[in-house]
Amino acid sequence: MTTAWIAIVGTIIGASTSYLFQRLTLRRTEGFARSEQLRARRIDAYSEFAEKVMEWRRAQTIRLRRRIEDGKAADDYDALRAESQRMRAQAWSAFYKVKLLCGDPAIEQLALAAIEATHEMWAALDGEDEVGGDRRRLDELGELVRERLDRFLEAATVQALGGQGRRRLG
């Protein structure tokens, strides 16, 4: 009889222990899956943000070059303005996605700095009527956008890859 009780108690202890370890393993697996999903969503949001900022930068550059060369009299100026505004809206939308997912105020500030630099490309225009601006200044401001975006991507990559940073090729 004692042997039977020992077997029953041993079975119950074994089953309970097995159940506890399975629950711990399940929690760990679920946590890992959630963190991997968040990491993948962050990478998507960060790359989309970079793409949209560069598209807005391109639209700004084309529009401002045309404004510097021809003023508002350019035949396609209104279409260029509409394209620039569309790209700006997409960049802001991508920024808000970054803001929702990043969870790091420093990364959010770096993203905002890239947005602001793109908007500030208007500083290439001079005078009250903004005609006859400086193309070299426009190029410098465009490069500033790229530099700020690179800073954002460096920080975002470190976060997304868990401190590994970007790997340099070549």
Q: What is the chain's alpha carbon radius of gyration, rounded to the nearest angstrom?
A: 27
Rounded to whole angstroms, how far apart are CA atoms 170 and 168?
7
Better-predicted residue by pLDDT, 32 or 136: 136
Per-residue pLDDT tens over the stretch 69-101: 877 666 788 899 899 999 999 999 999 999 999
Per-residue model confidence (pLDDT) at position 45 = 96
Looking at the domain assignment, is residue 5 inside a domain?
Answer: no
User: Which of 34-43, 50-59, 78-87, 152-161 is most confident?
Assistant: 50-59
Six token digits for residue 4:
């039977």
Nearest CA-CA partner of 155 in 146, 143, 164, 145: 164
Rounded to whole angstroms, how far apart are CA atoms 130 and 28?
59
Per-residue pLDDT tens over the stretch 103-154: 999 999 999 999 999 999 987 775 544 555 688 888 999 999 999 999 999 9
Strand (E) or helix (H) holding 3: helix 2-70
3-state secondary structure at position 170: coil
Per-residue model confidence (pLDDT) at position 168 = 45
Domain CATH number, residue 75: 1.20.120
Count up the domains in the chain and report the number.
Answer: 1
DSSP state of 128: T
Per-residue model confidence (pLDDT) at position 78 = 86
Looking at the domain assignment, is residue 113 inside a domain?
Answer: yes
The band of 170, judged by pLDDT with boundaries at 50, 70 and 90, is very low
Looking at the domain assignment, is residue 28 inside a domain?
Answer: no
Domain that holds residue 67: 40-160
Looking at the domain assignment, is residue 72 inside a domain?
Answer: yes
